[in-house]
Structure 1
Amino acid sequence: MTFGQVLESDNYNSYPVGNVSTATNGTTAGVGGMIVTTGVVTNYQIVTGDAAHANYIQVTGGSDGTTGSSRSVSKPSFSTAWTNRTAGNNIIKGTVEIFTGTSTNKHASGMLIASATAGIVGIRYNSQTKTINGMAYLLPTGGTPAFYNITGLTTSTFPANTWVPLGYSYNTITGEITYNIGGVSQILTVNGATTVAGLVPARAQISSSPTKLDAQDADNTGPTTFGIDNYRIEASNTAVLGTSDIPKNNISSVVAIGPNPASDYLNILTDRKINSISIYDMSGKKMPAQLKGNSIELQGFNSGSYLIEIQTKEGNISEKFIKK
C-alpha cells in the first residue's frame, strides 16, 4: 500500500514499560496522549516484545462476555490531523501489526477508523477461528447503512502469540475499501450491498471485544490479551492509490453481518447459499428466528447480546451481535 501524509503513528518504544494511563474514563490522556476506556488501568500496558517489537501496547480484555469486557484506545489528536490534511489527500490508509495473543479465551481485536457516529473501516483478529476479519460501513440494497462484520476475506489462519502485518484503506470520494492481509491486497465487494462515500474520519481506535464460537461455548473464564505495534495511518492522494491491479475478492466467499448493534433487524449479506440460521441468547437458549430474504426480524428480542450461527455449504459462521 502506497502512503502519503502521516496522520498518526506509534511504535511505543519511547514510553516506559507499565500502565498506559492513570484512568479508564475515556477522557484522561496517558502516555503519548492515549485515552483508554473500560476496565482498569492495568488492562492497558506498555510491555517488552521480541527483537523486532522492542515495546508494544498490550491490551487485556475481561473474563466474561459482556460489553464491559470490551476495551478501546484512541488519541484525540486524530480528528484534527484529518481535518488539516493536505488538500486532495482523500484516502485514509493504515497498516498495523497485531499480536494475536491469548488462544484459550475468546476475543476479536484490532484497529478501526470511525466517523463521529459510526465505524467506517476496520480489521481484526478472531482468536477462535484464528482468522482475520474486516469491518465496514455498508449500504444494503433497499436498506439502511450501518457498520458490518466481514468474514471470508481469507482462508489463512494465524496461531496464538503471532505477529500479523495488516492493512486497510477507505476512499472518502468513491467509498472503496481495501484490505491487506499478509501482503495480499483486495478490494471489498459484498453481495447485496455497496460501500458508502463521503464519510468523515473522526477517530482511530484500537479495539477489542469478547466473542465466542457457538452458543454452547462458555463465556471467557479468564482474561484475554492481544497486542498492537508499528501502526501508521496516513492520508493519500487518489492519483497515487494504485489499486487498479488489486483484485476484487471472491464475492461468494464474503459474508457481512449487521447492523451491529441492531435494532429491528439483522442482515446477512452473501452470495453463499444459506442452509439454516440459529440465534441464541448468552445463556444458550435458542430464540425464534427466521431468515426472510436477507433479513431476520428482531422486534421480539430483548436488549442484550446474542449469537447467530449460519450454516452454509462452504462451512458454518458464528458472530456475536447486540440488540439495542
Structure 2
Amino acid sequence: MMVALPFLGFGQSAAKNSIHPLKQKSSKVAASLGGTSYAPNAYCIPTALDCTDGDVMTNVTFGTINNTTTCGTNGYNDFSAMATNVTPGTAMPMSVTVGSGWFERVSVWVDLNNNQIFEDSERLSNNVGPLGTSGNNGDMGLGGGIGTGGALTGNITIPAGTAAGSYKMRVMVIATGSGNPAPSDPCLDIQFGEVEDYTLTVPATGCLTSPNGQYPSATFTPACNGTTENVTTLGWTGEYSKVSLTGGVAYTFSSSVASHFITISDEAGTTTLAAGTGPVVYTPSTSRIVRFYTHLSSNCDFANTSHTRAVMCGTPPTNCADFKVLSNNLENGLFFGGSTSQKLAIDVPVAASNVTVYGLEPTVVGTATTFSFTFYSDNAGLPGAQLFTRTGTITESTVTGTNFGYEFIKYKVMFNTPVDFSANTKYWIEVTTDAVAWEARTGGTLGSLDAFSNTSTSGVWTTGTNNLVFNLVCSPLAVSDIAKSGFNYYPNPVKGYLNIDSKQKVEMVHVYNVAGQKMPVSTQLVDGKIDMSRLAPGVYIVSTILEGGRNESFKVVKQ
C-alpha cells in the first residue's frame, strides 16, 4: 500500500490487467509524493581494382536483390543497404552478369560468423572443374566463368543451422583468364575486376502470440549504461513489453528463466526481428520501438507465473562524475521513513576501473540536518549483504525549486571516510536522513531502478519504478572549505531570539517544522539574530544559506 501526502491523493496499487482476472498479479509500490551510426567498418575494401576495361559486374540477382550497376570507384560498390532473406540449408539461384573485358570468373563469400573477415570456408561459390585447356582442375567459380560477357548462374546455399541475423555477402569478379581458378582472396587488389557487397538476412522464427497481452502498458526506454535493466519483474509468458531502441546499438534481451523462448518483433507484432532460447541480441539499423515477447518454449506455450524481462545495452560509466541521475522538473519524490518505515537505495554499477567516492549529492524534499549511508553488495539486482556504513557531513545546499508545497534541496554530503568501489562490481547505497523525501523521476536510469522496502514489502528490498536524483562527490573537501566551517548558534532550547555566529556571511535563513513546512520567520538576520518568539513550542529545523551557497542546518527546541 502506497502512502502519499494528503493533498496529493496518489495512493495506488499497481495491478496488471489480464484475461484471467482472478489470477491478476500485483506489485509492491513505494510510498511517494505523487503518483547510428555504426563503428567504422573493418571489412577489407579494394583501393586499386580496375573495372573500367569491361572487367565489371553489370547485374547481380539473388533472392529479392536485382541490382543493375556500373563500374564502382576503385572497383568497389557498397550495396550493403540492399538485403534479401535466405533460408539456411536451401540452395538459392544466383545470377551475376559480367562484362567482356577478358575471361571472367566470379567468387561469392558470406561472413557467416560476422567477424568482418571473409574466410576461405565462407566461400560459397566453389565449383570444381577443368580450368580451360590447362588440364588442371580447380574452382571455376559461379557459373564456370565466361570470356564473352554475359550471365554466370549457379546456386548459393547458406549452411543449415545458420542463426537468425544479418550477414555480409561479397561478390567479386576478376579477369582470371580461362586457365586460372576463380579468385580465392576476398581482399584481392591491384587487378582487373570489381567487388560488390550486399546483405543477407536469415529471418528469425519467433512466437508472436500474446494471449496475456502487453505488460506494462508504458514503453520502456533503456539507459544503456552497461547494466541489466528490468523492463518488468512481473512478466508472464505469452505476453510482451514494448522497448524503445536506438539505431546502431546492440541490445541483449533476457528472462530470469533461462529456458524461456524470447522473440523480438516490430512494434506491430507482425515481423520477427530476432528470436531464440536464452538471451537474444538484436541491433536495429534505425531507432524504433519493438515488442519483447517471452514464451515457455519455441512451441509458443505459456503459463501465468511471474518472471523478469530485462534488457542490457551500452557500457557502465567510467568516470566518477558520470554516476548521476538528473532531475526531471521535480517530478516526484519517495518518502523517507514515515509510518511505513520506508528505506530507499540506489545502485552504483562500477565499470573496469576502481572508483573512489568522497560523498553524495542527493536532492531531497524538505530540509535535512543529518545524513547517514549504508552500503550493500548486489543480489540479483537488489541490495544484498551489508558491507559497511558511513556518516555524512552537510557542506553545501542549493534549493532547486518548489513542488507539492515543499522545497527541493540539493545537499552536498561528505562521507566521514572515502569509499573505494572495486572495478566490475555493483554496489547499493541506502540513504537515511530526516528530510521528507528523495526526489524521484521516471526515465534517466543509471543502472537499476530504485530499491525500496517498507511495511507493504514486509521489509524485503523490492525493485521500484523510479530513479532517485543524485550525483557522486568525486574529490575531497578542500582545506579552504574546511577552514570556513566556523559556525555556532545559541541558546538551544530557545524562547525568543536565536543567535547565529558564522565566519561566512549568512545570506538567508529558513525555519521549518518537523513536517517540512516553512515557518513565517524573517529570512534575514538582524544583529546576528532571528526572532522565534511567535512560534509554538516544539522542534524546528533552521536552515542557513551562507555566502557561496554553502548550507548549515540544525535542530532547535522552541520553549
Superposition TM-score, scaled by structure 2 size:
0.17
Superposition TM-score, scaled by structure 1 size:
0.27
Larger Rg, first or second structure (1 or 2)? 2
- Structure number with greater CO (CA < 8 Å, separation at least 6) is 1
